[in-house]
A and B are shown apart, each in its own frame.
Chain A
Amino acid sequence: MSTPLVELNDISISFGGIQAVDHVTVDLYPGEVVGLLGHNGAGKSTLIKCLSGAYQMDSGEIKINGKTATINNPRDARRYNIETIYQTLALADNLDATANLFLGREIVSPFGMVSDATMEAETRKIMSRLNPNFKKFSAPVSALSGGQRQSVAIARAVYFNAKILIMDEPTAALGPQETRMVAELIQELKRQGLGIFLIDHDVHQVKNLCDRAAVMKNGQLVGVVKVDEVSEDDLLAMIILGKKPEHLAA
């Protein structure tokens, strides 16, 4: 097989004596969606925050395209073309969609002034692709609906040519139609060769959208399985009991 896009090798991180992530190893290939499953507090968000630069791991190694990567903060992660859609969306509510989309990466004129008009035009372009109904370009995002806010967060991740995309429960706050839209987007990004980590509670959705699923319990990795080889019940059993299904256990 080719080189994995991302290798998370033997990652550990603890907070005040609690081992939040305990020697976990997961990898991700280009054009692949890997689902991360587990109860609340299983450590999936914490694991992924080591990759997005929000947390720093205690031990372990991250490799991007086979090379060891140093990620100490979100700025480092962006340099490796890692984009994250956080569960909380991480939007500045007082700013408009354009300001949020370009936050930290504003387009500036030669005099160092931010080019709001250019950025708004770019925002209109990408939003017309992601969410054609989106019209509130100059309202603060606090005035937007949950789905509209979500599309701003997604647009921000997609616009800057992400190679590795992390989605933390991207459909948690969405209605059925918007959920379908996100699912279609994931399929499209996959075709473009992105690698996607998808953190989700919904076993059904993971089975539909993902190629493989990594299940975590109490900070440890229960196992990584191909979703075609397991049933939804198998996945549930892994989440609840913390054991791999018998027909796969070697």
Chain B
Amino acid sequence: MSGPSDYQPSNPALQWIERRLPIFGLIHSSFVAYPTPRNLNYWWTFGAILSFMLGMQILTGVILAMHYTPNADLAFKSVELIVRDVNYGWLLRNMHAVGASMFFVAVYVHMFRGLYYGSYKEPREVLWILGVIIYLLMMATGFMGYVLPWGQMSFWGATVITNLFSAVPYVGESIVTLLWGGYSVGNPTLNRFFSLHYLLPFVIAGVVVLHVWALHVAGQNNPDGVEPKTEKDTVPFTPHATIKDMFGVACFLLLYAWFIFYMPNYLGDADNYIPANPGVTPPHIVPEWYYLPFYAILRSIPDKLAGVIAMFGAIIILCFLPWLDSAKTRSSKYRPLAKQFFWIFVAVCILLGYLGAQPPEGIYVIAGRVLTFCYFAYFLIVLPLLARIEKPRPVPNSISDAVLAKTGSRSTPMVSTAIVLALAGSLFAGSIDSAKASEGSDTPPGNKWSFSGPFGTFDRGALQRGLKVYKEVCSSCHGLSYIAFRNLAEAGGPGYSVAQASAFASEYKVKDGPNDAGDMFERPGRPADYFPSPFPNEQAARAANGGAAPPDLSLITKARSYKRGFPWFIFDVFTQYQEQGPDYVTALLQGYEEKVPEGVTIPEGSYFNRYFPGHAIKMPKPLSDGQVTYDDGSPATVAQYAKDVTTFLMWTAEPHMEARKRLGFQVFVFLIVFAGLMYFTKKKVWAASH
């Protein structure tokens, strides 16, 4: 894309095409011969990583769309069926859902890199603005994609975000009706979001082409921020940059795979495993993590319109960055003050993200206001001021000088490190404080589960016993509507044979019809049938249970969670702890107490449960010692029942968990070998250039 190429393919067929459409010359000049600065560091591989992620999202998304149903009544179920029944559907869905998060991880690194090295400065303003447009499109796409599974967080996230537009004076309400296609978020909203979610990635791809075009006109910036002057300053894109990017992508894939195979729900919200319910608002509405800093800005401003303006302003201000920062020196490497403020700004963004996930009360509101001020001050006060008062260190004459001198200063940013530590400390103190304050329920104790960890498998005995407990106790009130009898005989499940599953199914009466006479009739269950629900509809369930409908248990261990708090949620990434749901369910089953503690009032018809949020639960104590007889000699105690039925419900929530962890191990072995090969190839290729 940098002017006409003199490249001529040697193959006559390619020559024939080349004379009519010089596409090989274009590719050759853009991605093979293209001169790339020889001092680029690994932060520059994120461009390739982002292209890879975009391709990945489009590919997995197109396949997912083949199985997804964009209808308010069917969407949630269709997503569950993708995960349960489509070949490798669980993998596709994890890749796509985690992929969205990874896409944002990469884009944030890419943006901060641009910020640090001044990649937005003359002559790269248009390149930078195109990047901001891509980022905005990504946010819209990500938001609409999050709505599609039609869980509680999808629905209420959509409600809150579309309501942002009602803040616009005069026309706000009409805009919101136009977005909804109705009087509230509903089926028409889901349909149009699906359409747009499919369209926007291709718009992004189009803007990416412009972004790369602009990049290849202006040329890449580099860590020293001096333009290449001679041949010595650059290396050809292929093989140098190509192989380095491949190594970068391979390393990024390791991170990506960690989440896909071992922590697929870590970045999501447990509430999204509850189907959308327009009548109940979840207690905390939290957007996806990548919007949290902006959500925090929105909430820290007490006025509605001003809050919305500040939130959008926080992104739009990036477009003006090239003119707000008028310093001549590009790279912060040579700007001692700018470097400090950059790291402070990074800390501000991360802390805003943390605050966005906290309830809007007490210290969090004040901290949010202070940090919102800091965010805008960085762009509107610090950068313009630094351009005038800062005395930058001298920049090297050329890139090759910089490479030879290896001038990279090794002084650690002491001031900003201290500030970050102080802020993190105060937040830690704050979170302990609020944990003490919210005496709503006790934290469930941790348990040892057979299915935890990277090599976890289900204990077959526990699954079979759990099924018995479910059948004899839970099933009188709770449905299990996503589980079919055939699942009992599938690999990774309770380990029954097909014949046993059929026999189990035939014990159930399943409603079928209409027959030729037009009547509904009952027949014995078949393996393909799903567990029948105890109540015909939610209203009946509600009426029979004193106003509280017993939830379906298929997904309960993924739909329930409790707050881990700082810093535990960071440790969890490394320990792969993700058993909040099972820990909660098993604790709840054992958490009943006859004696209500002082200071707690339990309404008529409710029971005291130590672990239930608010303590007043409508479900009477379900399990008691000796209630279910075990054939295998396991103790017939409440503790054992609770543990077994929780294990069983973990399997119903994710029947393919064993396949996920097994494939994960194979993928990791492959990726580590691949990344190693890439690294040594890269070393060889770059041997002459360093």
A, B: real partners: no
Which residues of B are in contact with A by a Cβ distance under 8 Å?
Answer: none
Which residues of A are in contact with B by a Cβ distance under 8 Å?
Answer: none
